């Protein structure tokens, strides 16, 4: 599969790497120090203040988009990796593949199911045992039935 990366993609990758480096931090820190030291030279004027305010605002504004692009790409890659793990493992539920596309209410509903799964797992004597929600509920019903039978 041949990779075709557009110009913005290449720039975004480069800028994300460059701005996340120690050198970028040092350059930013030196810029602020030089600006602060130059204050007396410009009599701490409004223009002197405006220079740093405008510069940092523009850089911050542009960085938001670069960071978001990078986060979107990383998030997509992580989701794909998790989907691969879910799809390839025999004991997992394929219902969980691509759940990031669900709306907030649907995600909350799934969250409640996993709270139930956690509660059921806490009742297990074997902490290393894993299973789906359905299997956990069925296992718990069997165990509850066995306890009731023993008590009678």
Q: What is the DSSP letter of 21?
A: S
Per-residue pLDDT, averaged over 39-54, amounts to 96
Cα 134 versus chain centre, distance: 28
Instruction: Say if residue 123's pLDDT is above 70.
Output: yes
pLDDT value of residue 60: 95
Could you give the CA distance from residue 109 to residue 115 in angstroms, rounded to a whole number?
10
pLDDT value of residue 56: 96
pLDDT value of residue 127: 56
Could you give the CA distance from residue 5 to residue 97 in angstroms, rounded to a whole number?
27
**Six-digit token string for 116:** 């139930």
Give domain limits for the chain.
Answer: 1-95, 102-152
Query: How far is residue 60 from each of residues 7, 19, 21, 67, 137, measured CA to CA in Å?
Result: 21, 11, 16, 10, 50
Q: What is the pLDDT of residues 58-116, one digit of tens each?
A: 999 999 999 999 999 999 999 889 888 888 877 777 777 888 888 999 889 888 888 88
């Amino acid at each position: 599969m041949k990779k075709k990366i557009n110009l913005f993609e290449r720039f975004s990758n480069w800028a994300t790497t460059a701005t996340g480096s120690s050198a970028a931090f040092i350059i930013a820190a030196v810029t602020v120090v030089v600006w602060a030291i130059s204050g007396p030279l410009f009599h701490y004027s409004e223009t002197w203040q405006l220079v740093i305010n405008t510069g940092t605002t523009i850089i911050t504004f542009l960085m938001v988009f670069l960071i978001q692009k990078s986060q979107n790409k990383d998030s997509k890659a992580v989701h794909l990796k998790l989907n691969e793990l879910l799809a390839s493992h025999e004991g997992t539920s394929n219902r969980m593949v691509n759940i990031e596309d669900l709306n907030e209410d649907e995600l909350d509903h799934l969250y409640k199911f996993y709270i139930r799964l956690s509660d059921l797992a806490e009742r297990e004597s074997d902490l290393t045992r894993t299973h789906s929600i359905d299997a956990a509920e069925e296992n718990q019903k069997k165990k509850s039935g066995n306890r009731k039978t023993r008590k009678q």
